[in-house]
Chain A
Amino acid sequence: MKKLFVLIVIVGVIVVGVYFLVKRFSKNDESQIKEVFTSLSGSLSYSGGLSNFEKLKRSENIVNRFVPEVYIEIEGIGPVPISFRGREEIRNTLMFAFNQVRELRVNFDDTKVQLGPDKLNATVITTASASANNGEDYGVQEVECRLIKTNKAWLIERVATRDILRR
């Protein structure tokens, strides 16, 4: 009996381990797209201020996740929607934000990926939340992103917020 249970536990651990290993190292399109958002979250989250080099490095990491002619439109932060077009505008906005905000945390949760029939474009809906300055300011938005596959890399082409509360 004892041997049987030890065997069951060992088999269970192996099965769970293999599952997570396969999940971790399998590079299908969906996992690659989710990796884009994980990377963005990592580059956008920091605490205790950033050095100039770190600001440049992070902003490059972020803009390289977008196509050069990207268009972003965000509603709900102010009275009018905010929009950015192209990598340069995003880079400038990021540098401004990195200089103004000492602590920032950005998360993308519940990321749902819908691949196009040709598997060269995808639509992603995710819940983006951001808190700045130790949680003093907190915002959450449902965001829809359109991505395209270019040279085996998934790049964000368009970002728009989705209203869940109609005003």
Chain B
Amino acid sequence: MLKLCTAIANLEIWSQDKDEKINVECCYNLTQNRYTNMDVTERTHESNSLWFRLVFGANPAITLIRAAVLFGVSMFLFTVVVIPIRVQGISMLPNFRDNSIHFVLKIAYLKNRPQRGDIVAVKFIGNKIALLKRVIGLPGEKLSIKDGIVYINGEPLEEPYVKFKRARWNFPETVLRNDEYFVIGDNRSMAMEAHSFGAVNFSRIIGKLLL
């Protein structure tokens, strides 16, 4: 385009609500004594307000979408897939210390069932508090404890994760029903009455300990 200019200037101007920076190439025509041929060369979303940019970023629409996606992904991840738990109590010592934080994989048993040796979270009425226990008995098995040694179908169970000296617990033989798993803590040095253990229905198992 032929421009009859006596001076060319590139100017930056702001839109009316000051969220868009517009670069304009202008010609100043001395004969007409006015600006002519104002061509918009670039339009960029930019705010001149620092707090606004700090809160919403250079492009608020994109920031809002990013925040919504991040929120959605986080909610899904930390409610449906994985839940963080904090261990309280001494029943899983020395493998899991009091106040240590771990993650439970909720989707671990969507297809598979718990296996012997798995560490699982067992829920109460809600999900806020759960028991962290180890699965030692599977559905249909006969389980008993004699002098601290666990017997499954009459055979002693090898438990390398029990590191403290075992107290002499005695628990009569029980047959696990369908959908029942026998769960117990790793700390067998404490009094049996003070230790929560027993058969739990599969529906109470939230998931498997991830790390």
Contact = CB atoms under 8 A, between A and B. Distances in A.
A160 to B, nearest CB: 14
B56 A5 contact: yes
B17 A164 contact: no
Contacts of B174: 167
Interface residues of B, number: 36
Contacts of A78: 193
Contacts of A129: 88, 129
Contact of B128 (A109, A131, A165): A109
Interface stretch (B4-12, B23-31, B34-42, B197-205): B197-205
Given A126-B125, A127-B124, A164-B124, A140 B199 contact: no
B131 interface: yes
Contacts of A5: 56, 60, 64
A131 B86 CA distance: 14
Interface of A: 1-3, 5, 76, 78-79, 109-110, 112, 125-127, 129, 131, 135, 138, 140, 142, 163-167
Given A164-B204, A166-B199, A2 B17 contact: yes
Nearest to A76: B196
A86 B61 CA distance: 62
A7 to B, nearest CB: 12
Given A110-B128, A164-B122, A1 B193 contact: no
Given A131-B88, A135-B88, A109 B126 contact: yes
B200 A142 contact: no
Q: Among B99, B125, B183, find the residue whose CB has the most chain A CB atoms closer than 10 A.
A: B125
B35 to A, nearest CB: 27
B95 interface: no
